[in-house]
């Protein structure tokens, strides 16, 4: 190819020869400044002007990496390169794509043209940078970042004088040059409009890259929004301008009692029949609404929700549909309680019992709930004082407010003040930066439950009395007075009156708190309720486990005669243990702890002296120990663990039953 000598301006050819011989450019007006600068750099690099073959060619493995790295650019550029090639088919031109460093990535051309290019090593993986092959359109474009045409003797190396090259940069979505598009052919066929064509094609490729990047970003954003839409804890329903449901997330389907795509295409008015006027106003774009209570009747029972809705308008201001947000009422209440500091779960109907003493305590507590007066709940540990406190709160006018519980006996005495009243920034060593509100502030509008009030230090009793009298609190280390509206419920297992007499509890505080004093009876003084409570606990535990337990009559006899020093808490723990020890769903005496079967503090009961029952219990104990020892192959530790006793206790029992 190119058998004829190049048709170039004699002046440029002479100028090139002159520069190669003495390094001088006589007429700067003939040569473009960027080409003249390139000649100077090539001379300084001592490039061989008689050469021009690419010597820097990537290895096959490196070429694969180059193509993989730029695959997206190549795929976008190929159709444009093919179109240009069709315009120059059989004319001796080739279309070349390089990366931003001048390495060839793709070529389009006739067989003869590609063969001629190959003689110069103008192939994939070859570097067409200035430092490797001298002045050419790609190298000048790399240096200037602009479209450029280099023809004939404008090339530094003589072997390139047969060529004319037009190259233009391709830009990525970030505006940086990521590749070059080049059109090279015979120098005699050089035309000025060739560069414009290449520049236009490079610009079109850049635009296509930008479009694909935008499409990718939109796709990614759509996936993110879909993920949020499907995983958010609130229900969302989207509908079109005709009121037909287009999209709804899983929570919305659940709240509305539907599965799969059953809601798709349904008229939104049919879903909210009780609020048709609001929905119609939403469809007409006349009114949005927020936090309207709504009850959806579904097969699994009514779902109470807080509903909000808003109309969606297009850019012309026309109604294009709308969105409805569903939030379960339970979640709203739960969020309020959690943010306010505590959950309250117990109501008065959770307090079981038919004995006169417990019914009287419930009656007094119910009367106290109707007021805002302070309450003292007095009773032994495990009698359910906090249950009473929560029940009073939940029946009071403050039930929508926070319920915050503090165990005064569990807080170090030096921290009681900061827990109750809060502190300012830097109030003491270790204080949290920015300060912290106290529980009086957090409980404002609700109830503050002070458990073990008898253990409160005297110095904090003074501060508590002042807050109760003034209904204002000042944080430790601060002088700002904060108004609080708190109802106080106290609990203690001590006799506060005796503490007043001994001087460990302030008399004025005692009388301030002692508006309602309610005695919570111990379990041993409400024996008629023991069996009721035990059976209820077993039923609750069985329901959680998905099991139905049968309780032997002998078990009920034993629990009825036990003294229950740990009160209701101990009874619940025994019921839980019995359920876990039960075999085949039957709770027998073997499932009870030893202290229940042979109590040292058993009350006077006709059964207490029954030798036959005692003998039967001992025989069952013997059979249980023998059976477990056989099952566990004599492993004392495992048997003791199953029985819930110490190894030493098991050894004593084995000795008593003559088990060796």
CATH of the domain at 365: 3.40.50.300
User: Are 553 and 644 in a shared domain?
Assistant: yes
99: Cβ contacts below 8 Å, ≥ 6 apart:
66, 70, 73, 105, 178, 179, 180
Strand partners for 94:
109, 184
What pLDDT sits at residue 603?
44
What pLDDT sits at residue 161?
92
Task: pLDDT band for 535, please (50, 70, 90 cuts).
Answer: very high
Residue 326 domain-assigned (yes or no): yes
Helix (H, G, I), strand (E, B) or coil at 534: helix
What region does 604 belong to: left with phi over 0, alpha with psi -120 to 50, or beta?
beta
Minimal CA–CA distance to 35: which of 208, 169, 151? 151
Measured between alpha carbons, how far is 323 from 245 in angstroms, rounded to an integer?
Answer: 10
Residue 3 domain-assigned (yes or no): no
pLDDT tens digits, one per residue of 351-360: 999 999 999 9
pLDDT tens digits, one per residue of 370-382: 999 999 999 999 9
Measured between alpha carbons, how far is 450 from 460 in angstroms, rounded to an integer?
Answer: 13
User: Are 124 and 151 in a shared domain?
Assistant: yes
Report the percent of the chain where pLDDT is more than 70: 87
Measured between alpha carbons, how far is 196 from 161 in angstroms, rounded to an integer?
Answer: 21
Task: pLDDT band for 183, please (50, 70, 90 cuts).
Answer: very high
Most confident of 289-298, 414-423, 572-581: 572-581
What region does 125 belong to: left with phi over 0, alpha with psi -120 to 50, or beta?
left
Whether the per-residue pLDDT at 459 is higher than 90: the answer is no
What pLDDT sits at residue 379?
92
- Sign of the CA dihedral running 381, 382, 386, 387: negative
Q: By the 8 A CB rule, do 592 and 551 touch?
A: no
Residue 218 domain-assigned (yes or no): no
Whether the per-residue pLDDT at 316 is higher than 60: the answer is yes
Residue 219 domain-assigned (yes or no): no
> Angle at which helices 71-87 and 192-231 pack, to 10 degrees?
150
What pLDDT sits at residue 610?
46
What pLDDT sits at residue 481?
78
> Residue 204: is it exposed, middle or buried by C-beta count within 10 angstroms (0-12/13-18/19+)?
middle
User: Are 386 and 500 in a shared domain?
Assistant: yes
Strand partners for 244:
267
- What does pLDDT average to over the chain? 84
Measured between alpha carbons, how far is 175 from 180 in angstroms, rounded to an integer?
Answer: 14
314 or 10, higher pLDDT? 314
User: What are the helix (H) ranges across 97-191?
Assistant: 111-119, 130-133, 137-144
Minimal CA–CA distance to 35: which of 200, 180, 122, 153? 153
Most confident of 173-182, 271-280, 291-300, 437-446: 173-182
Decide the pairing of beta strands 403-407 and 447-451. Answer: parallel
User: Are 52 and 70 in a shared domain?
Assistant: yes
Task: pLDDT band for 433, please (50, 70, 90 cuts).
Answer: low
Task: pLDDT band for 426, please (50, 70, 90 cuts).
Answer: low
> Residue 189: is it exposed, middle or buried by C-beta count within 10 angstroms (0-12/13-18/19+)?
middle
State which of 332, 360, 387 marks the end of a domain. Answer: 332
Return the CATH number at 182. 3.30.450.40
309: Cβ contacts below 8 Å, ≥ 6 apart:
278, 279, 282, 288, 289, 290, 322, 323, 324, 325
Task: pLDDT band for 572, please (50, 70, 90 cuts).
Answer: very high
Measured between alpha carbons, how far is 500 from 513 in angstroms, rounded to an integer?
Answer: 13
State which of 281, 297, 332 marks the end of a domain. Answer: 332
User: Are 547 and 644 in a shared domain?
Assistant: yes
Whether the per-residue pLDDT at 270 is higher than 60: the answer is yes
User: Are 389 and 282 in a shared domain?
Assistant: no
Mean pLDDT value of segment 120-146? 93
Whether the per-residue pLDDT at 480 is higher than 90: the answer is no
What does the block give as tokens for 405? Answer: 């519980």
Residue 299 domain-assigned (yes or no): yes
Cβ atoms within 10 Å, residue 44: 9
Mean pLDDT value of segment 465-487? 83
Q: Nearest-5° angle of CA 160, CA 165, CA 169? A: 135
Helix (H, G, I), strand (E, B) or coil at 169: strand
Residue 28 domain-assigned (yes or no): yes
Return the CATH number at 562. 1.10.8.60
378: Cβ contacts below 8 Å, ≥ 6 apart:
491, 492, 493, 495, 496, 517, 518, 519, 520
Q: By the 8 A CB rule, do 463 and 474 touch?
A: no
User: Are 467 and 394 in a shared domain?
Assistant: yes
What pLDDT sits at residue 347?
92
Residue 124 domain-assigned (yes or no): yes
Measured between alpha carbons, how far is 43 from 47 in angstroms, rounded to an integer?
Answer: 6
Q: How many distinct structural domains can be found in the chain?
A: 4
What does the block give as tokens for 619? Answer: 């025989």
CA distances, 583 to each of 338, 374, 551, 590, 593 (Å): 40, 48, 11, 10, 15
What does the block give as tokens for 205? Answer: 């490729």
Q: Which domain holds residue 187?
A: 10-213
What does the block give as tokens for 638? Answer: 């495992």
pLDDT tens digits, one per residue of 75-89: 999 999 999 999 888
Whether the per-residue pLDDT at 605 is higher than 70: the answer is no
Mean pLDDT value of segment 18-30? 83
C-alpha torsion angle, residues 554, 559, 562, 563 (rounded to 10): -170
Measured between alpha carbons, how far is 534 from 388 in angstroms, rounded to an integer?
Answer: 19
Out of 242-251, 535-544, 615-624, pick the least confident.
615-624
What pLDDT sits at residue 616?
58
Measured between alpha carbons, how far is 518 from 499 in angstroms, rounded to an integer?
Answer: 17
Strand partners for 318:
none
Measured between alpha carbons, how far is 99 from 67 in angstroms, rounded to an integer?
Answer: 9
What pLDDT sits at residue 639?
80
CA distances, 246 to each of 260, 325, 439, 485, 634 (Å): 13, 14, 47, 48, 68
Q: Nearest-5° angle of CA 392, CA 413, CA 482? A: 60
User: Are 182 and 95 in a shared domain?
Assistant: yes
0.85 surpassed by pTM: no
User: Are 501 and 535 in a shared domain?
Assistant: no
Minimal CA–CA distance to 36: which of 211, 127, 153, 203? 153
User: Are 327 and 352 in a shared domain?
Assistant: no
User: Are 363 and 408 in a shared domain?
Assistant: yes
What pLDDT sits at residue 429?
61
Q: By the 8 A CB rule, do 346 and 452 touch?
A: no
Decide the pairing of beta strands 481-483 and 319-328. Answer: unpaired
Minimal CA–CA distance to 579: which of 554, 628, 545, 612? 545
Whether the per-residue pLDDT at 641 is higher than 80: the answer is no
What pLDDT sits at residue 129?
94
Residue 370 domain-assigned (yes or no): yes
305 or 451, higher pLDDT? 451
Out of 222-226, 434-438, 530-534, 569-573, pick the least confident.
434-438
Out of 52-66, 132-146, 424-438, 532-546, pick the least confident.
424-438
Return the CATH number at 266. 3.30.450.20
Measured between alpha carbons, how far is 86 from 80 in angstroms, rounded to an integer?
Answer: 10
State which of 332, 367, 398 marks the end of a domain. Answer: 332
User: Are 484 and 612 in a shared domain?
Assistant: no
CA 549 to chain centre: 40
């Amino acid at each position: 190819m190119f058998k004829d000598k190049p048709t170039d301006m004699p002046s440029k050819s002479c100028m090139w020869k002159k520069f190669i011989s003495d390094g001088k450019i006589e007429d700067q007006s003939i040569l473009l400044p960027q080409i003249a600068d390139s000649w100077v750099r090539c001379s300084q690099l001592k490039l061989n002007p008689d050469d021009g073959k690419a010597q820097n060619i990537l290895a096959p493995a490196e070429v694969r990496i180059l193509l993989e790295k730029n695959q997206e650019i190549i795929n976008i550029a190929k159709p444009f390169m093919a179109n240009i090639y069709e315009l120059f088919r059989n004319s001796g031109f080739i279309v070349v794509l390089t990366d931003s460093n001048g390495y060839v990535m793709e070529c389009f051309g006739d067989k003869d043209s590609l063969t001629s290019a190959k003689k110069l090593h103008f192939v994939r993986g070859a570097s067409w940078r200035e430092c490797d092959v001298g002045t050419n359109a790609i190298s000048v474009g790399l240096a200037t970042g602009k479209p450029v045409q280099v023809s004939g003797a404008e090339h530094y190396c003589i072997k390139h004088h047969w060529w004319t090259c037009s190259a233009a940069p391709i830009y990525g979505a970030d505006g940086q040059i990521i590749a070059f598009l080049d059109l090279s052919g015979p120098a005699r066929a050089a035309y000025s409009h060739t560069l414009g064509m290449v520049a236009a094609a490079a610009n079109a490729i850049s635009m296509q890259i930008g479009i694909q990047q935008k499409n990718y970003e939109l796709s990614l954003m759509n996936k993110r929004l879909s993920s949020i839409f499907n995983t958010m804890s609130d229900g969302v329903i989207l509908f079109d301008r005709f009121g037909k449901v287009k999209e709804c997330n899983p929570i919305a389907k659940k709240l509305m009692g539907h599965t799969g795509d059953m809601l798709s295409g349904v008229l939104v008015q049919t879903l909210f029949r009780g609020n048709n006027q609001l929905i119609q106003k939403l469809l007409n774009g006349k009114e949005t609404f927020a936090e309207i209570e709504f009850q959806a009747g579904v097969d699994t029972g009514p779902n109470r929700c807080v509903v909000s809705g808003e109309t969606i308008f297009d850019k012309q201001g026309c109604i294009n549909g709308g969105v409805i947000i569903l939030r379960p009422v339970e979640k709203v209440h739960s969020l309020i309680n959690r943010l306010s500091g505590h959950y309250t779960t117990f109501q008065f109907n959770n307090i079981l019992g038919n004995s006169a003493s417990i019914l009287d305590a419930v009656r007094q507590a119910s009367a106290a709930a109707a007021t805002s007066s302070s309450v003292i709940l007095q009773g032994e540990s495990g009698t359910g004082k906090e249950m009473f406190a929560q029940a009073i709160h939940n029946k009071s006018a403050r039930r929508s407010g926070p319920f915050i519980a503090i165990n005064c006996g569990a807080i170090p005495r030096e921290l009681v003040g900061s827990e109750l009243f809060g502190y300012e920034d830097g109030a003491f060593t270790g204080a949290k930066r920015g300060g912290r509100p106290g529980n009086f502030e957090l409980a404002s509008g609700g109830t503050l439950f002070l458990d073990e009030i008898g253990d409160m230090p005297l110095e904090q009793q003074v501060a508590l009395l002042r807050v109760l009298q003034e209904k204002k609190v000042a944080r430790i280390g601060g002088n700002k007075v904060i108004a609080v509206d708190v109802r106080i419920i106290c609990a203690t297992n001590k006799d506060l009156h005796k503490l007043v007499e001994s001087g460990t509890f302030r008399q004025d505080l005692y009388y301030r708190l002692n508006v309602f004093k309610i005695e919570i009876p111990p379990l041993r003084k409400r024996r008629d309720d023991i069996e009721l409570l035990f059976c209820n606990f077993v039923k609750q535990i069985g329901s959680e486990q998905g099991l139905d337990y049968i309780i032997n009559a002998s078990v009920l006899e034993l629990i009825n005669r036990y003294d229950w020093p740990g009160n209701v808490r101990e009874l619940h723990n025994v019921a839980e243990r019995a359920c876990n020890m039960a075999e085949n769903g039957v709770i027998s005496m073997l499932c009870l702890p030893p202290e229940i079967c042979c109590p040292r503090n058993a009350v006077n009961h006709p059964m207490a002296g029954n030798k036959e029952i005692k003998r039967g219990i001992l025989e069952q104990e013997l059979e249980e120990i023998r059976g477990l020892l056989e099952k566990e192959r004599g492993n004392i530790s495992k048997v003791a663990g199953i029985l819930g006793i110490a190894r030493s206790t098991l050894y004593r029992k084995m000795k008593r039953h003559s088990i060796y």
